[in-house]
Amino acid sequence: MGSFLFSAATERDVERAAPDFGAARLLISYFDAQAAGRRIKELLGNDEYEKRRPYIEAALRGEHVTFERPLSLNGRDRHLQIDYVPEFDCSRRVVGILALTQDITARKQKEARLESEALHDSLTGLANRQLLADRISLAIAHARRNRSAMAVLYLDLDGFKEINDTLGHDAGDSLLKRVGERLVAAVREVDTVARVGGDEFVIALWQVGGAGDAARVASKLVKAVSKPCDIAGRAVKITISAGVGMYPAHGKDAATLLRSADRALHAAKRVGKNAYRVFDGAPLASA
């Protein structure tokens, strides 16, 4: 579907009853030769016409209007950019509207893809650091308003380098994807799972009842990841260690919470890995 142009003229009765431009007839259409002579509202349908009415009214006042509209065409979703350009007579009176419609679906899809790539990890499709920081900030704001708690979990795979070196990078990538899938499956839809580099993951828990709730989630994640994975026809066992930082007890901003959770993660590593720890130190200073 490419661009198309139509011209519609107002009629005397329409001018007297303006802005009911929907009763105006289409004069010419380069998009659909059969459309000429049909009324605008008939072509658009009542619902679509009402959605476009503000733009039509603006064009009838002499304004050049540009807007975008989604459209379902033959079962496919399209996105259109529409320009309404008023036509004037020699007395500068609006006598019609020229409408140029362009199919910008490909452009919108590209924009959405680029936006997604800017906010997601290219390997796993999980949130990246930028999106994670936004989500943590939103969760903190929500918890502050509701006088509740939220949690940040910092996770690191145990012994991933050895697996990567032994089985190869392709197998390592497959394992990271599988781990990401297990983490997502183990938390709620409102929670955010991010890969922040290498074999490190961070999870923002939107709202929790307290440290006990966050600890139960951490335990669940450790168990979920420890189940063997079939990678390239081989049973691979991997474990994960996790650290928990709580808002507001362990930090009141994203950076401080991440540092608290990272400290707790290192404590879990020191006790033998395949474990979790909740941060037990004093709140860290905000960055």
Four-point Cα dihedral 58, 60, 65, 69, nearest 10 = 80
* Residue type at 131 in one-letter notation: L
First to last CA, the chain: 52
Cα–Cα distance for residue pair 31/170, rounded to 1 Å: 50
Contact 36, 26 (CB under 8 A): yes
Strand duo 239-247 + 276-278: pairing: parallel
Catalytic (active site) residue 89: no
**Annotated catalytic residue: which of 165, 199, 230, 262?**
199
* Burial bucket for residue 226 (CB in 10 Å: 0-12, 13-18, 19+): middle
Contact 201, 127 (CB under 8 A): no
Catalytic residue numbers read 199
